């Protein structure tokens, strides 16, 4: 079913209700005019015909239900609004008891609160009950009345006049919008804020903020706006789903991260925006890598780079490809991808749309590069570049900094310096449990495996480091989240 637009302004609704009342129209006529003129759902039209706000309607419903224990409800403005929007995706189906209370409140029949779309979505049992309740049409004693004569079709100048008014009415609807340019600017600013906050904030708190912001954008898309504004909203929805995909994978839930990634891709296709396509593919490449689908990660990174995005997306995509090749042991391809990353950085044009999590600073690029050097057997190079990067002035994203510290620690292990490794790991081991994200946890496990393969394996220092890593992992964010199902939806 097509989404319904936001109704006219309160000023317009009040004027219409007053004018129709003065003209002797009843509530049923006012409700019908509200539906036609402002394209309202039936239940919303009846509420506005009475001049009630959502909260006022909820309060009166609660009072009515309180006097009838079997029909008692606990409604608020939000729930009444959802009953009105149903059967759209953001609505909630009202029960027959709720419909009966609404009908009593508005002084109409239950049938008056339902249109054909509602009836299509009602369960068969509810439809049967409605049919039984509907009174049979009264028949005169001498048999049914003959059908009323059909009104003649308009013709001549009357037909031209009616067609003109129909077009004018449609034009009035077409020029209305439920979001303005200032609101779109604010939504973009809010999206940039959560993308930036994630680099230093508490992940689940930022996840909740991002989810709430995405839901606001989804709700707006269910209304009516101009095509350009719809494209902007789809773009924002795509970036927000992309951010939720990245965050979900950081919290260890790859399956749900993929779901968010697919929705982000759908939004990118609808908005026809190559920048969003590139960042979405970057996100999905990251998810594939940590999900063990290394070749898929390479394919996705290459697809993203093919869109030649502005900003730093091309740098990150090349870095992701290099990381995946290195994990497959393909040193030549990994080094070639690092060269592409440097070239993309040198040729960078334009700014990142969102920045924050969806940007690739030089610090982030070096994190990938040192990891590739380490996997390619160049521990000394990894040590030198990681040390230099960590010496640059902050602020740095704590997750990226943690991974660089782990690379530094692994390089020390490869070079036989366990004391240096322990020193390098101190900032990582000191991370708050909620900031111990899945990629950092997996990198630490790689560190533990590196120690197990080193000549120092079995020694007191090596065992102590491995125990600290295991203890750290037990308090990691993915493990905490797994032990608290549903916490992100609170």
The structure tokens 């496990």 sit at 445
- In this prediction, residue 157 carries a pLDDT of 78
Q: Is the confidence at residue 79, as pLDDT, over 60?
A: yes
Task: Give the tens place of pLDDT for each residue, 119-152.
Answer: 888 887 677 777 765 544 444 444 454 554 455 6
| Predicted confidence band of residue 206 (pLDDT cuts 50, 70, 90) | very high
Cβ atoms of 379 and 334 within 8 Å: the answer is no
Q: Residue 49's closest CA among 36, 25, 31, 35?
A: 31
More confident residue, 110 or 162: 110
- In this prediction, residue 77 carries a pLDDT of 87
- In this prediction, residue 485 carries a pLDDT of 56
Kindly state the DSSP code that residue 372 receives in the 8-state scheme: H
3-state secondary structure of 455: coil
Q: Is the confidence at residue 383, as pLDDT, over 70?
A: yes
| Predicted confidence band of residue 489 (pLDDT cuts 50, 70, 90) | very low
Q: Residue 315's closest CA among 325, 326, 304?
A: 304
The structure tokens 């992992």 sit at 473
Range scoring the smallest mean pLDDT among 120-124, 428-432, 438-442: 120-124
- In this prediction, residue 409 carries a pLDDT of 97
As given in the structure block, the two tokens for residue 178 are 């439920």
3-state secondary structure of 414: helix
Q: Is the confidence at residue 155, as pLDDT, over 60?
A: yes
Instruction: Compute and round to an integer the Cα radius of gyration of the chain.
Output: 31
Dihedral-angle region of residue 163 (phi above 0 means left; psi in -120 to 50 means alpha; beta otherwise): alpha
Q: Is the confidence at residue 1, as pLDDT, over 50?
A: no
Kindly report the average pLDDT of the chain as a whole number.
88
| Predicted confidence band of residue 61 (pLDDT cuts 50, 70, 90) | confident
**Rounded Cα gap, residues 187 and 139, in angstroms:** 59
Instruction: Give the mean pLDDT of 344-370.
Output: 95
Q: In 46-185, which ranges are E strands?
A: none
Q: Is the confidence at residue 16, as pLDDT, over 80?
A: yes
Instruction: Give the mean pLDDT of 358-374.
Output: 97
More confident residue, 478 or 403: 403
Instruction: Give the mean pLDDT of 363-381.
Output: 97
DSSP states of 177-215: -S--HHHHHHHHHHHHHHHHHTTTS-HHHHHHHHHHHHH
What is the C-alpha end-to-end distance of the chain, expressed in Å? 29
Q: In 305-352, which ranges are E strands?
A: none
Contacts of 339 (CB under 8 A, 6+ apart): none
Task: Give the tens place of pLDDT for each residue, 234-282.
Answer: 999 999 999 999 999 999 999 999 999 999 999 999 999 999 999 999 9
- In this prediction, residue 36 carries a pLDDT of 85
As given in the structure block, the two tokens for residue 118 are 């509602």
**Rounded Cα gap, residues 225 and 176, in angstroms:** 7
Residue 327 Cα distances to 202, 350, 377, 415, angstroms: 30, 31, 12, 20
- In this prediction, residue 139 carries a pLDDT of 44
Residue 151 Cα distances to 33, 66, 470, angstroms: 21, 47, 83
Instruction: Give the mean pLDDT of 20-32.
Output: 90
| Predicted confidence band of residue 171 (pLDDT cuts 50, 70, 90) | confident
**Rounded Cα gap, residues 224 and 268, in angstroms:** 20
As given in the structure block, the two tokens for residue 431 are 């991370």
| Predicted confidence band of residue 410 (pLDDT cuts 50, 70, 90) | very high
- In this prediction, residue 480 carries a pLDDT of 81
Torsion angle of the four alpha carbons 245, 246, 252, 258, in this order, in degrees rounded to the nearest 10 = 40
3-state secondary structure of 276: helix
Q: Residue 223's closest CA among 238, 214, 233?
A: 233
Kindly state the DSSP code that residue 358 receives in the 8-state scheme: B
**Rounded Cα gap, residues 43 and 31, in angstroms:** 9
Buried b (16+ CB within 10 A) or exposed e, 62-92: eebbeeeeebebebeeebbbbbbbbbbeebb
- In this prediction, residue 98 carries a pLDDT of 87
Q: What's the number of CA atoms in the CB half-sphere (13 Å) around residue 228?
A: 4
Range scoring the smallest mean pLDDT among 26-30, 111-115, 116-120: 116-120
Q: Residue 371's closest CA among 382, 361, 357, 381?
A: 382
Residue 227 Cα distances to 12, 167, 177, 217, 232, angstroms: 24, 19, 10, 15, 9
- In this prediction, residue 142 carries a pLDDT of 47
């Amino acid at each position: 079913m097509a989404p319904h637009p936001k109704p006219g302004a309160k000023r317009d609704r009040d004027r219409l209700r007053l004018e129709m009342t003065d003209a002797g129209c009843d509530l049923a006529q006012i409700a019908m005019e509200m539906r036609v003129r402002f394209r309202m759902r039936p239940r919303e039209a009846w509420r506005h015909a009475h001049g009630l706000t959502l909260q006022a309607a909820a309060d009166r419903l609660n009072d009515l239900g309180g006097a009838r224990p079997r029909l008692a409800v606990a409604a608020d403005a939000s729930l009444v609004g959802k009953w009105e929007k149903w059967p759209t995706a953001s609505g909630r189906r009202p029960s027959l008891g709720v419909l009966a209370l609404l009908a009593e409140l508005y002084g109409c029949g239950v049938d008056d609160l339902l249109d054909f779309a509602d009836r299509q979505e009602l369960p068969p049992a509810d439809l049967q009950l409605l049919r039984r309740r509907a009174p049979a049409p009264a028949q005169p004693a001498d048999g049914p009345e003959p059908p009323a004569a059909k009104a003649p079709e308009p013709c001549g100048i009357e037909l031209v006049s009616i067609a003109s008014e129909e077009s004018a009415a449609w034009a009035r609807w077409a020029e209305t919008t439920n979001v303005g340019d200032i609101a779109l600017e604010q939504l973009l600013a809010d999206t940039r804020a959560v993308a930036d906050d994630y680099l230093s904030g508490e992940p689940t708190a930022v996840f909740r903020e991002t989810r709430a912001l995405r839901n606001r954008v989804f709700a707006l898309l269910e209304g009516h706006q101009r095509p350009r504004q719809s494209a902007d909203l789809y773009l924002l929805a795509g970036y927000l789903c992309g951010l939720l995909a990245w965050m979900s994978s950081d919290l260890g839930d790859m399956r749900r991260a993929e779901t968010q990634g697919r929705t982000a891709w759908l939004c990118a296709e609808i908005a026809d925006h190559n920048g969003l396509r590139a960042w979405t593919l970057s996100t999905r490449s990251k998810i594939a890598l940590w999900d063990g689908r290394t070749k898929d990660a390479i394919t996705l990174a290459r697809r993203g780079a093919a869109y030649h995005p502005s900003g730093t997306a091309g740098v990150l995509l090349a870095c992701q490809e290099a990381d995946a090749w290195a994990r497959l042991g393909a040193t030549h391809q990994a080094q070639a991808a690092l060269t592409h990353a440097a070239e993309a950085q040198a040729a960078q044009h334009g700014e990142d749309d969102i920045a924050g999590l969806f940007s690739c600073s030089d610090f982030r690029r070096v994190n990938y590069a040192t990891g590739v050097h380490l996997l390619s057997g160049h521990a000394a190079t990894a040590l030198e570049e990681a040390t230099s990067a960590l010496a640059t002035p902050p602020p740095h994203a704590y997750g990226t900094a943690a991974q660089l510290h782990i690379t530094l620690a692994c390089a020390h292990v490869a070079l036989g310096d366990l004391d240096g490794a322990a020193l390098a790991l101190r900032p990582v081991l000191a991370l708050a449990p909620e900031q111990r994200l899945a990629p950092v946890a997996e990198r630490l496990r790689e560190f533990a495996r590196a120690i197990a393969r080193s000549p120092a394996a079995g020694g007191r220092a090596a065992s102590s480091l491995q125990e600290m890593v295991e203890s750290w992992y037990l308090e990691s964010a993915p493990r905490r989240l797994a032990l608290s199902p549903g916490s992100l939806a609170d």
